[in-house]
Amino acid sequence: MIKSAGRRAVAVTMAAAVCATLFSTGTAEAIVKGGDSTQRYPFMASIPERVDQTGDRGVCGASLIDPQWVVTAGHCVDSTLVAPDGTVRIGSERQHSGGTVRRIAQVITHPGYALQSETIPFNRNDVALIKLDRPVTEKPIRLASSPGAPGTPTRLLGFGTTVDTNDAAKARFAERLQELDVRRGAESECGPGYAGRMRLCTVSPRPEAMACIGDSGGPQIRRGAGGRWELIGVTSGPGTARPACAGGPGLYTSVPAYADWIRRTIRANRGGN
């Protein structure tokens, strides 16, 4: 869960989408200004944080991409920021019940991952893989071969805060899975240098709506061949320098850009637990 001093405090201030600490059931709208999920997403996964002595907890999102592997954000497994409780829940529309729960057997963060800081405005190579202790029966989502051109309709999923804030103490997390229809943004619609081949700019047609605290690591998806959902992005953070989440675009790690690393890593670590 988020820490409060030194380097951790910098990360909390600058990364509105970092996993949060306070659990409180959401009410009407979420991601921020999203809505209850309209269908089943068997690939949707959540990574709960360890409950501490105050009873606080948090959550990150993830996507099942193989019967025994999920992909999430690097900062969702960064030990300087968070303490996952050691499990992953897959295929449920509820944050705390349903689906399949597996233990975390292995965590592999991209070797180039770097947490944002006073000199780096966004997380770099913000992607990680989690190996489950046993395969699940839920159907994985396909990795998209391309994120689509700017303007492509996409969808965000998450259990994050319903309240637009970068203050974990004010977050109000959703118990029911939330979705928000958005679009691929042009690089120029995010802050200078934020978006590019490795990082996708994401824009909501709905004002003041975007992924936020607790949605980190979760999926951005689009319709591919035959109308199937494909994974194009991993929730990373805000797409501009701003004090909260929903006042501008979001920034997503491009799954197509890291597809070769993802596949190589899974192949190399296929055996054993």
151-172: average pLDDT: 86
Regarding predicted confidence, which is higher, 162 or 130? 130
pLDDT greater than 70 at residue 82: yes
Residue 273 lies in a domain: no
Q: What predicted TM-score, i.e. pTM, was given to this entire model?
A: 0.87
Task: Show the DSSP H helices in the chain as ranges.
Answer: 6-14, 255-268
> 46 lies in a domain?
yes
pLDDT tier, 21 (very low <50, low <70, confident <90, very high otherwise): very low
Per-residue confidence band for 52, with pLDDT thresholds at 50, 70 and 90 = low
Burial class (CB in 10 A: 0-12, 13-18, 19+), 128: buried
Q: How much is the pLDDT for 273? A: 61
For 219-255, the pLDDT digits (tens) are: 999 999 899 999 999 999 999 987 678 889 999 999 9
DSSP 144: P
Q: Which residues does residue 243 pair with via DSSP β-bridges, in sequence order?
A: none
- Mean pLDDT over all residues of the chain? 86
Which of these is catalytic: 126, 164, 204, 254? Answer: 126
Question: Out of 44-48, 118-122, 123-127, 237-241, which region has the weakest mean confidence (pLDDT)?
Answer: 118-122
Residue pair 57/24 in contact by the 8 Å Cβ criterion: no
pLDDT higher than 60, residue 26: no
The CB-side HSE value for 94 (13 A sphere, CA atoms) comes to 6
d(CA 204, CA 214): 18
User: Is residue 35 domain-resident?
Assistant: yes
Question: What is the pLDDT at residue 76?
Answer: 94
Asked whether the beta carbons of 20 and 11 are under 8 A apart, the reply is no
Residue 1 lies in a domain: no
The catalytically annotated residue of 63, 75, 215, 236 is 75
92 classed as catalytic = no
Q: Which residue has the higher pLDDT, 227 or 174?
A: 227
Check which CATH number belongs to the domain holding 106 and give it.
2.40.10.10
pLDDT above 70 covers a percentage of the chain that reads 85
Would the pLDDT of 16 be above 90?
no
Q: Is residue 83 part of a domain?
A: yes
Half-sphere exposure of 114 (CA within 13 A, CB side): 9
Burial class (CB in 10 A: 0-12, 13-18, 19+), 149: exposed
Nearest to 91 by CA among 70, 112, 110: 70
DSSP one-letter code for 256: H
Active site residue 204: no
Residue 226 phi/psi, 5° resolution? Answer: 70, 10
Domain total of the chain: 1
Domain carrying residue 56: 6-268
Of 204, 216, 236, 254, the active-site residue reads 216
pLDDT given for residue 83 in this prediction: 82
Higher pLDDT, residue 191 or 17:
191
Report whether pLDDT(266) > 60: yes
CB 107 within 8 A of CB 128: yes
Active site residue 24: no
Q: Which two tokens stand for residue 72?
A: 């999430």
Q: Are strands 219-223 and 229-238 parallel, antiparallel or unpaired?
A: antiparallel
Report the Cα–Cα distance between both ends of the chain, in Å, rounded.
25
Q: Is the pLDDT of residue 1 over 50?
A: no
Bridge partner residues of 101 (DSSP): 89
